[in-house]
Structure 1
Amino acid sequence: MKTPVFTATRYMTAAIITLLMLFPIYWMVITAFKTAEELTLAVPTFWPRQFMWENFAHVFKTIPFAQYSMNTIIQTAGIVFLQINVGLMAAYAFAKGNFIGRDKLFLLILAALIVPDQVTFVPVYVLLSKLGWINTYYALIIPNAASAYGIFLLRQMFKSINNDVIEAAKMDGANRMQVLYGLLTPMAMPTVTTVVLISFIGSWNSYFWPLIMTNSDKMRVLTLGIAKMRDSIAGNEAIMFHQLMAASVIVIIPIVIVFAFAQKHIIAAMSNSTFK
């Protein structure tokens, strides 16, 4: 039986953990509004003495922020679109298909989860270079067209759906694409939303791949823009750190908005992600 002391301790522990996790974000936001003089104080302040909105305007003057934003949006939209559609079709095949080597191929998909980009980027870079795709949107998007983790989540969700539902749809004349997009996808919407969220965050925050595949401001993304700002103030971080934090705040706003709308689906999706 849960006692009042146990309940109070649980809520207090949860509150402390939440504060510890949110404090870095809070510190980043208030730092973005501080003045250079306030940053150099011996005793740090936990609330800006004066809100400096000019810090955000300075970001747009330091780097071609509009161009970087457009590149990031195009990259993210392309990757999310491809990952969710490739993931849906692959998951449908692995969950409901019946072909030789299905389970072994799925194990290969899972094995891809442990292979970092740093291991495969050399052959991929050589291939894209021969195709003439370096410094193009193709290089930013196509190598990330599929997500092993997204396929895994969707496959687990599809396996939990009764086959009788699919057979009934086929008897009504539905083809495979209609079954997948008209029946299974709506039923798996929490998992689909979670995969979209994971893909969006990963694409929006991507740094290593755009750094390797682009070499001009015309194709740079926001993460590289922040790195460029950091390099431009090298040696003066102590007095220019507020502008770097202002850029970081602008970049994370879309992620916060998307997560706020999608968070209710995450727990439902994760509850169906156990290996079957």
Structure 2
Amino acid sequence: MSSKTWKTIRLIAAILVTLIMIFPVYWMVITSFKTSNELRLAVPTFWPETFMWSNYAEAFQAAPFGRYAVNTVIQTVGILFLQINLAIMAAYAFAKGSFPGRDKLFLLVLAALIVPEQVTFVPVYVMLSNLRWIDTFYALIVPHAVSAYTIFLLRQTFKSISNDVIEAGKVDGASRFQTLYRILTPMAFPTIATMAILTFISSWNSYFWPLIMTNSNDMRVLTVGIAMMRDSVAGDEALNFHLIMAASVMIILPIVLIFVLAQKHIITAMSNSTFK
């Protein structure tokens, strides 16, 4: 098989895989513009007969999505701020610090990567209930304030930075925090930006945790709001599917925009994430 033929086959395979992956997104978008009657047709249409832009306004009014959006932003920003800053300090300690048991503690952090959230859910829920944090932002934010994966990636990045940079900072009279935030953090910006994006996406899309930790509509987030939308509108998913898809499109737009703008930082950070 010639090189040109092999390249053609790979190109065709890549196009097919791409089409398969983006088809659900395409179907969600076109469904958001359809009418409820068109959705009940025996043969589904791959293009709306009439573009119903009003679906978006109706979806936004069908439930208190304004309040859900505010709650989602507060949850996401809170988790993002704590997770990135705590990871920066922890990664600096594991990469450049010198203290007994450093490597063993880092292995313990890595071990947390294999523990799924569902395993620790019950004890964490009981603890938060005893603290009376259920149905508060504390329950939505604090349990996700630390990420083992973020610490791992930042530690790898900090280890790749020469110690001479730190020594130069000390000579200039910089404290540890000044060295960390004014020297090392800008040098590790691609990794930090990548982890901020991934943390944002994870927090924005979080469903299981907010569903369990909140009881009132005033504390619901967007993902939970969409899941409850069937009852909010008419209690019939088939009748409300176009509104559910319209709400879903509005929710994923910030994620798509951020990912497109920052994809080069993600590639750079992943290329520097080998274990050292």
Q: TM-score range by the shorter chain?
A: over 0.9
Q: CA deviation at 1:237?
A: 2.6
Q: Is 1:133 the equivalent of 2:148?
A: no
Q: Contact between 2:234 and 2:240, CA under 8 Å: does it hold in 1?
A: no
User: Which deviations, in whole Å up to 9, do the C-alpha atoms of 1:29-80 show, x marking residues without a partner?
Assistant: 0000011121122222111111111211122222111000000000000000
Deviation at 1:144, TM superposition (A): 0.7
Paired residue type of 1:252: I
| Equivalent in the alignment of 1:201 | 201
User: In the alignment, which residue of structure 2 is the partner of 1:23?
Assistant: 23
- What is the correspondence of 1:19-58 to structure 2 with a 5 Å cutoff? 19-58=19-58
User: Where does 1:141-152 land on structure 2 (aligned, <5 Å)?
Assistant: 141-152=141-152
Cα shift readout 1:130-169 (whole Å, capped 9, x = no counterpart): 2221111111111110111111111111111111121112
Q: How does 1:230-249 map to 2 (within 5 A)?
A: 230-232=230-232, 236-249=236-249
CA distance in 1, matches of 2:148, 2:195: 11
Between 1:227-236 and 1:108-117, the stretch displaced more is: 227-236
Which amino acid letter does the alignment assign opposite residue 110 of structure 1? L
Aligned residue type for 1:51: F
Identity between Structure 1 and Structure 2 (%): 68
- Report the Cα offset of residue 259 of structure 1: 0.8
Aligned match of 1:115: 115
Query: 2:86 & 2:40 partners in 1: Cα distance?
Result: 50
Q: TM-score, normalised by structure 1?
A: 0.95
Aligned to 1:153: 153
Distance 1:64 1:51 in 2: 24
Measured after TM superposition, the shift of residue 123 of structure 1 is: 1.8
Pairwise CA distance, 1:82: 0.5
Task: Give the corresponding residue for 1:105.
Answer: 105
Range with greater deviation from structure 2 (50-59 or 148-157)? 50-59
Under a length normalisation based on structure 2, what TM-score does the superposition of the two structures give?
A: 0.95
**What is the CA distance between 1:249 and its match in structure 2?**
0.6
Q: For residue 3 of structure 2, what is the aligned residue in structure 1?
A: 3
* 5+ residue gaps, structure 2: none
Give the match for residue 84 of structure 1: 84
Q: Distance in 2 between matches of 1:49 and 1:76?
A: 38
Per the alignment, residue 250 of structure 2 pairs with 250
Query: What amino acid sits opposite 2:162 in the alignment?
Result: N
Partner residue in 2 for 1:185: 185
SS at match of 2:49: coil
Moved over 4 A (4+): 231-235
Question: 2: distance between equivalents of 1:149 and 1:273?
Answer: 10
What is the identity, as a one-letter code, of the residue corresponding to 1:161?
Answer: I
| Distance in 2, Cα, partners of 1:2 & 1:136 | 63
How far residue 4 of structure 1 moved from its aligned partner, in angstroms, is: 2.1
> How many Å apart are 1:236 and its aligned residue?
3.1
What amino acid is the match of 2:64?
P
Matching of residue 221 in structure 1 with residue 221 in structure 2 = yes
Distance 2:65 2:41 in 1: 30
The answer to whether residue 168 in structure 2 is matched with residue 174 in structure 1 is no
Aligned to 2:164: 164
Instruction: Give 5+ residue unaligned stretches, structure 1.
Output: none
Partners of 1:255 and 1:267 lie apart in 2 by 17
Change (3 A) 1:74 1:2: farther
Aligned residues: 276
Matched AA of 2:100: I
Question: 31-40 or 13-22, which moves further after superposition?
Answer: 13-22
Within-5 A mapping of 1:57-68: 57-68=57-68
Deviation of residue 177 (structure 1)? 1.0
Deviation larger for 165-174 or 137-146: 165-174
The structure-2 alpha-carbon separation of the partners of 1:250 and 1:41, relative to structure 1 and needing over 3 Å to count, comes to: same
